[in-house]
Amino acid sequence: MKSELVFSFPTNRLLNLDVPLEIRDENMGLVAQTLASQSVKVTPGTYIVTASLPAGQRVVRIVEAKKKREEVTLAVLERQESPHEWREIGHYFASPRAQRAEHMVQAAVDVRGLESLETRPSVTATLRVFGGNFLAGKKKPLAVGFRREHFDRDVAHLRCKPAKELRYVQMLQAGRPAVNIALPISKLGCTIAVHREPDRYWIEVYPENPQANLILGYTRNHKLQPQVTVAEGMLRDKFEDPIAAAVGAYALLRAGELDRLHHWTENLARYFVWLPDGAAIRGEHLARMGKHAEALQSFLDVFKRGLPVFSEGIRFTHDRLRSYCGRDASPKVKTALQSLQRFIPYLDFEKAVTTFTGSNPTAPDDAVVKRLPAKDKLDLAKLFT
């Protein structure tokens, strides 16, 4: 008689997420690799179930499989739990920088207590929103329109509504360069986490699609997790969520899983003309297939759409165009490459979501902000009151 292991996470944010799991026997031999949403049948015995979350939290459960069905709760180590349920999105999916910030704040509280923790920054900061094709020199100011959902002493979460167009949030604070971050939104919105420290604010964005958020979290933390079937499904379901489809496609390209891209990258590029990443992904897919002439055309389409939402799309476009420029020095290719090269020195390639500096998003630079805008802005200090 086999025992069916059924998995679940105890927290809302992780519930139903397809976190990759490994099931090993008591000699640490691999018995099965699965996803948290799928059960596994094993012969009775002792098993070790492990998982690793994007920000490094670990799950290690020893399971005695005796009954026909064993419920396995995948709790992270106690010391790695999120302080609040609403902060899980940052805690389990955050970049190394966000994790360091959280540890520093907690360490300060542990040592000095909550009351003594002064996190009120000495600078003011605001948010603005822009749309448009920055590569073509076009920007369109948009209404900020975020809704605050949660906040505590050092983090506030804003909800950004869905939109079927390119949008960037810009944070300005005096004495620092303005930072522009792509918003990964389409049919679903995203969460903007605003972090405040004693001398600055900074932000991180998380797509609303939980699977996309999971894969992006692994990418942020330089981890490769075996989720190719999930990524393939996200690309297949592009009409449900093209941003998630792009995240899935990038994951498949990273894993060299060209067969799992099928012809779906062509449809992602064709049916979502507002999304530059579709053209970049299609271009890279074609290049990997050795179809370089078609790849070049697809990469040139990126410039008709705008700056890709994800920095991987920019890297693919830049690297391939440089390579093609060496072979085909046509003015069109050179001009396209030059328009992208204006952004390269100011991009932060460590960030999975496109992030670059410059008060004018069509003319990136690293000049510090001297004065904050008077209108069309969101004052960040108000988020924490």
Instruction: Provide, rounded to whole angstroms, the least separation between the CB of residue 286 and other proteins.
Output: 11
Find the binding residues for other proteins in span 123-152 (CB under 8 A): none
- Answer whether 123's CB lies under 8 Å from 175's CB: yes
Find the binding residues for other proteins in span 321-340 (CB under 8 A): 322-323, 326-327
Cβ proximity to other proteins: between 86 and 316 the closer is 316
Find the binding residues for other proteins in span 91-130 (CB under 8 A): 96
Would you give the binding string for other proteins spanning residues 21-60, x where CB under 8 A is met?
---x-xxxxx---------------x-x-x-x---x-x-x
Is residue 287 a contact residue for other proteins (CB under 8 A)?
A: yes
Measured at the CA of 205, the angle between CA 202 and CA 209, to 5 degrees, comes to: 165
Give the binding range for other proteins (CB under 8 A) out of 120-128, 255-263, 364-372, 373-381. 255-263
**Which residue matches tokens 């944070």?**
171
- Answer whether 175's CB lies under 8 Å from 369's CB: yes
Q: State the DSSP string of 92-143.
A: HH--HHHHHHHHHHHHHHHHH-STT-----SS-EEEEEEES-GGGT--EEE-
> Which token pair is 137?
């020199």
The DSSP call for residue 297 is: H
The CB density around residue 58, as the number of other CB atoms within 10 Å, is 11
Is residue 262 a contact residue for other proteins (CB under 8 A)?
A: no
Instruction: Provide, rounded to whole angstroms, the least separation between the CB of residue 222 and other proteins.
Output: 5
The only residue of 148, 150, 159, 288 in contact with other proteins, by rule CB under 8 A = 288
Give the binding range for other proteins (CB under 8 A) out of 117-125, 145-153, 209-217, 286-294. 286-294
- CA-CA distance, 52 to 309, in Å (whole number)? 26
Helix then strand then coil, % of the chain, to nearest 5: 35, 25, 35
Instruction: Provide, rounded to whole angstroms, the least separation between the CB of residue 52 and other proteins.
Output: 7
221 phi, psi to nearest 5 deg: -100, 20
> Which token pair is 93?
């999916």
Are β-strands 69-73 and 3-8 bridged in parallel, bridged antiparallel, or unpaired?
Answer: parallel
Instruction: Provide, rounded to whole angstroms, the least separation between the CB of residue 299 and other proteins.
Output: 13
Instruction: Provide, rounded to whole angstroms, the least separation between the CB of residue 102 and other proteins.
Output: 16
- CA-CA distance, 17 to 197, in Å (whole number)? 31
The only residue of 187, 254, 262, 377 in contact with other proteins, by rule CB under 8 A = 254
The only residue of 152, 257, 365, 376 in contact with other proteins, by rule CB under 8 A = 257
Closest CA to 255 of 283, 285, 230, 224: 224
**Count of residues near other proteins by CB under 8 A:** 49
Looking at the DSSP bridge assignments, the partners of residue 369 are 174
Is residue 258 a contact residue for other proteins (CB under 8 A)?
A: yes
Cβ proximity to other proteins: between 199 and 319 the closer is 319
- CA-CA distance, 244 to 228, in Å (whole number)? 13
Cβ proximity to other proteins: between 96 and 137 the closer is 96
Cα 259 to Cα 140, 229, 281, 288, 299: the distances in Å are 39, 12, 14, 11, 21
Instruction: Provide, rounded to whole angstroms, the least separation between the CB of residue 356 and other proteins.
Output: 10
The only residue of 85, 199, 270, 349 in contact with other proteins, by rule CB under 8 A = 349
Cβ proximity to other proteins: between 52 and 170 the closer is 52
- CA-CA distance, 153 to 117, in Å (whole number)? 9
Instruction: Provide, rounded to whole angstroms, the least separation between the CB of residue 330 and other proteins.
Output: 15
Cα 263 to Cα 27, 154, 186, 223, 286: the distances in Å are 42, 45, 22, 27, 10
Find the binding residues for other proteins in span 297-326 (CB under 8 A): 315, 318-319, 322-323, 326
The only residue of 34, 95, 133, 221 in contact with other proteins, by rule CB under 8 A = 221
Find the binding residues for other proteins in span 67-86 (CB under 8 A): 77, 79
Residue ranges that bind other proteins, judged by CB under 8 A: 24, 26-30, 46, 48, 50, 52, 56, 58, 60, 62, 77, 79, 96, 221-226, 253-258, 287-290, 292, 315, 318-319, 322-323, 326-327, 341, 344-350
